[in-house]
């Protein structure tokens, strides 16, 4: 991308090195940093992106989306992924995006929707926002509406008994892949990301199935899904997290990696068998919001100065402790980034690797194969 900006005459080579340094320290993209420094306009950035990716550019004022394409993608999903669906043909959905580099996001969109493929064409982001508001006007389906429809659908999970000991694997695969279950989970996850929730909880009880979000340290109950969908929901989450769909007697842990709206989102999945079914907790880690600049994490100056002195010592141990959500991760990763230098070799052992930092060798612990901290 940097070379394209130079070839188009937008920046010089010296400016590119400054941009790359800032992009590395802030975790932002080259084009974004270039625009923020006032070196290029939004239109010039878009021109460079299109040139870099070799993608077709469309004029949204001349495009009329197919109704079936718009119906395929809920407005919440279109807004979060920053796309506008325009055609659907032979199981392939064509969307307009303002971010041609977000291939992973398009793959996630395909998996979310359960279709053959997703292709993309380009248009400016502001034009996509206007067109999305226009073509989705009055068509948004809320999570309340969707759950109300699912209440009447007893075929989904209706055959499953909450305490049954025998598992029909074929039935589990069928119900987890049902379009309504996919649609509900997609909406739940995207709303959680949009609302900056840190956790999603699904909790089965004898007469109800609770769903709660954790935001800013507090738990908030959402509209509960139908009780008969508990097995369908937990099975769908297991498939997404590459867990054993048939194992309902033992706890399982996994992860789901998404790319939403150009931002990498990691979901930790924890499943625990309970008296009335499986309790599921999904922890959300939005990699775009991590601050890698140690000077900007809110540490008081006198503590920051002392902390920097400690981490720059040639030997010793620095312990960062605290309860869940207290800021251990958001302290350690900026500390690593502070030490990250081409003249040094840095190796970490992590369980798991939450954020990737260029220039640091990060070793993920895998106890299942004997790769532990002690090993």
What is the torsional sign of CA 163, 164, 168, 169? Answer: positive
- The pLDDT of residue 46: 78
- The pLDDT of residue 292: 84
Residues 146-167, mean pLDDT to the nearest whole number: 54
Name the residue range of residue 159's domain.
Answer: 143-286
- The pLDDT of residue 173: 60
Domain assignment present for residue 374? The answer is: no
Whether residues 110 and 209 share a domain: the answer is: no
Max mean pLDDT among 139-143, 306-310, 371-375 falls in 306-310
Whether residues 86 and 192 share a domain: the answer is: no
Q: 135, 165, 186: which is the final residue of a domain?
A: 135
Burial class (CB in 10 A: 0-12, 13-18, 19+), 263: middle
- The pLDDT of residue 260: 75
Whether residues 107 and 85 share a domain: the answer is: yes
The per-residue pLDDT of the chain, averaged, comes to 84
pLDDT tens readout for residues 39-68: 998 878 878 888 888 888 888 989 999 999
Domain assignment present for residue 375? The answer is: no
pLDDT tens readout for residues 96-105: 998 877 777 8
Q: 241, 260, 286: which is the final residue of a domain?
A: 286
Q: 29, 53, 77: which is the final residue of a domain?
A: 53
Predicted confidence (pLDDT) at residue 167 exceeds the cutoff of 60: no
Whether residues 114 and 148 share a domain: the answer is: no
- The pLDDT of residue 2: 85
Using a pLDDT cut of 90, give the percent of the chain over it.
34
- Ranking 144-153, 228-237, 360-369 by mean pLDDT, the lowest is 144-153
Phi/psi of residue 254, nearest 5 degrees: -155, -170
- The pLDDT of residue 313: 94
Predicted confidence (pLDDT) at residue 141 exceeds the cutoff of 70: no
Whether residues 147 and 130 share a domain: the answer is: no
- Helix or strand or coil: residue 280? strand
Predicted confidence (pLDDT) at residue 160 exceeds the cutoff of 50: no
Whether residues 164 and 196 share a domain: the answer is: yes
The number of beta carbons lying within 10 Å of the beta carbon of residue 167 is 16
pLDDT tens readout for residues 115-124: 889 999 988 8
DSSP state of 324: T
Number of domains in the chain: 4
- The pLDDT of residue 175: 53
Long-range (24+ apart) CB contacts under 8 A made by 10-14 are 10/34, 10/39, 10/40, 10/44, 10/48, 11/39, 11/40
pLDDT tens readout for residues 70-110: 988 888 888 888 899 999 999 899 999 988 777 778 888 88
Residue 274's DSSP bridge partners are 277
Whether residues 184 and 278 share a domain: the answer is: yes
- The pLDDT of residue 159: 45
Q: How far apart are CA 259 and CA 112, in angstroms?
A: 11
Predicted confidence (pLDDT) at residue 149 exceeds the cutoff of 80: no
Using a pLDDT cut of 70, give the percent of the chain over it.
87
Residue 170's pLDDT band, with cuts at 50, 70 and 90, is: low
- Ranking 156-160, 252-256, 322-326 by mean pLDDT, the lowest is 156-160
Whether residues 174 and 89 share a domain: the answer is: no
- The pLDDT of residue 138: 64
Residues 345-361, mean pLDDT to the nearest whole number: 89
Phi/psi of residue 79, nearest 5 degrees: -70, -45
The number of beta carbons lying within 10 Å of the beta carbon of residue 86 is 21
Whether residues 97 and 34 share a domain: the answer is: no
pLDDT tens readout for residues 185-216: 888 888 888 888 889 999 999 999 999 999 87
Domain assignment present for residue 198? The answer is: yes
Residues 273-300, mean pLDDT to the nearest whole number: 87
Whether residues 252 and 355 share a domain: the answer is: no
Residues 244-249, mean pLDDT to the nearest whole number: 91
Predicted confidence (pLDDT) at residue 165 exceeds the cutoff of 50: no
Question: Distances from the Cα of 4 to the Cαs of 9, 13, 48, 104, in angstroms?
Answer: 9, 11, 6, 22
Residue 351's pLDDT band, with cuts at 50, 70 and 90, is: confident
Whether residues 205 and 281 share a domain: the answer is: yes
Whether residues 264 and 170 share a domain: the answer is: yes
CATH of the domain at 211: 3.30.450.90
- The pLDDT of residue 285: 82
């Amino acid at each position: 991308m940097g070379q394209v900006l130079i070839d188009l005459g937008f920046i010089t080579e010296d400016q590119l090195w400054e941009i790359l340094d800032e992009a590395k320290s802030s975790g932002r993209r080259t084009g974004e940093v270039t625009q923020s420094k006032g070196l290029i306009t939004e239109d010039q950035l878009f021109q460079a992106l299109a040139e870099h990716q070799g993608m077709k550019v469309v004029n949204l004022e001349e495009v009329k989306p197919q109704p079936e394409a718009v119906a395929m993608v809920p407005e919440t999903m279109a807004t979060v992924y920053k796309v506008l669906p325009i055609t659907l043909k032979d199981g392939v959905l064509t969307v307009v995006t303002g971010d041609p580099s977000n291939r992973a996001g398009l793959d996630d969109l395909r998996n979310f929707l359960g279709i053959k493929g997703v292709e993309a064409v380009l248009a400016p982001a502001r034009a996509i926002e206007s067109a999305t508001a226009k073509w989705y006007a009055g068509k948004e389906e809320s999570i309340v509406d969707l759950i109300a429809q699912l209440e009447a659908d007893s075929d989904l999970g209706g055959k499953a008994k909450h305490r049954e000991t025998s598992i029909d694997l074929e039935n589990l695969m069928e119900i987890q892949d049902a379009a309504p279950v996919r649609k509900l989970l997609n909406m739940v996850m995207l709303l959680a990301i949009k609302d900056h929730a840190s956790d999603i909880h699904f909790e089965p009880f004898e007469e109800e199935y609770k769903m709660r979000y954790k935001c800013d340290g507090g738990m908030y109950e959402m509209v509960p899904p139908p009780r008969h969908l508990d097995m369908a929901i937990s099975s769908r989450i297991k498939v997404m997290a590459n867990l054993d769909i048939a194992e309902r007697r033992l706890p399982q842990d996994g992860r789901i990696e998404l790319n939403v709206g150009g931002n990498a989102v990691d979901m930790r999945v924890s499943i625990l068998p309970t008296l009335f079914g499986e309790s599921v907790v999904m922890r959300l880690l939005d990699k775009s919001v991590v601050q890698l600049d140690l000077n900007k994490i809110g540490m008081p100056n006198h503590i920051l100065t002392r902390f920097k002195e400690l981490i720059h010592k040639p030997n010793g141990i620095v312990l960062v402790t605290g309860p869940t959500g207290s800021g251990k991760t958001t302290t350690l990763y900026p500390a690593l980034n502070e030490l990250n230098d081409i003249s040094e070799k840095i190796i970490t052992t992590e369980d798991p690797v939450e954020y990737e930092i260029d220039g640091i060798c990060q070793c993920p612990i895998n106890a299942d194969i004997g790769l532990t901290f002690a090993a």
